[in-house]
Amino acid sequence: MKGDLFVWLQALMVCLVTLIVVFTFCGRVVGVKGDSMYPTLHDGDMLLLRSVGYTPKQGDIVVLNKKSGVFDEAIVKRIIAVGGQTVSIDYAAGTVTVDGQVLEDDYIAERMTVPPDPYLSIQEVTVPEGSVFVMGDNRNHSSDSRDQRLGTVDERYILGQAVMVFFPFQDIRLLG
């Protein structure tokens, strides 16, 4: 009886240490706050991030940790462009182009409209090497790289790529 308990405790400790090592060095868990990524992600969703060996790519959903006066906690956004690419935003047409190609953004909630906020005035930008341009899928309700207070984001601020929604359980799915 005592031997069985010891085996169970030992197995539990191995699992616990393994989980700690995996989540410390290979991935993270982050909660979604707000609706800027709707309909792809919802407020309260829990995400599993891949952080080790990650290279940012256009279209990836990432979690950023760029703290500023407006963004004082981690934010979830989609990479629209990476270093060296040029992003053009046509608010009248509701389109985003990257290097002259209109972005296929069938994942967005609604057509993008002209933002009322004067901070959202970026219409064309060439992304510096080592940086990314990010936007929320809910374009009309997202503070992102169009906002001069955030702008392009240095890749070092990326905590990782969101690879899975694992909570709530009815919404479990892989991303990307």
What CATH number is associated with residue 161?
Answer: 2.10.109.10
- Render pLDDT for 109-144 as a digit per residue (tens, 0 to 9): 788 887 777 666 678 899 999 999 999 999 988 888
Residue 100 CB partners (closer than 8 Å, separation 6+): 86, 88
Percentage of the chain modeled with pLDDT above 70: 85
Domain-located, residue 55: yes
Q: Known catalytic residue: 2?
A: no
Kindly state the average pLDDT of the residues 33-37. 90
Q: Highest mean pLDDT range out of 27-31, 80-84, 112-116?
A: 80-84
Residue 73 has which token pair? 């906690």
**Domains in the chain: how many in total?**
1
Is residue 52 one of the residues assigned to a domain?
yes
| Residue 135 belongs to some domain of the structure | yes
Catalytic residue among 2, 33, 36, 143: 36
**Minimum mean pLDDT among 24-28, 42-46, 84-88: which range?**
24-28
Mean pLDDT of the chain: 84
Give a three-class secondary structure readout of 108-123. CCCCCCCCCCCCCCCC
Q: Is 36 a catalytic residue?
A: yes
- pLDDT interval class at 26 (50, 70, 90): low
Structural domain contains residue 44: yes
Tell me which residue range forms the domain holding 160: 30-174
Residue in 77, 131, 142, 145 annotated catalytic: 77
Q: pTM, whole model, 2 decimals?
A: 0.81
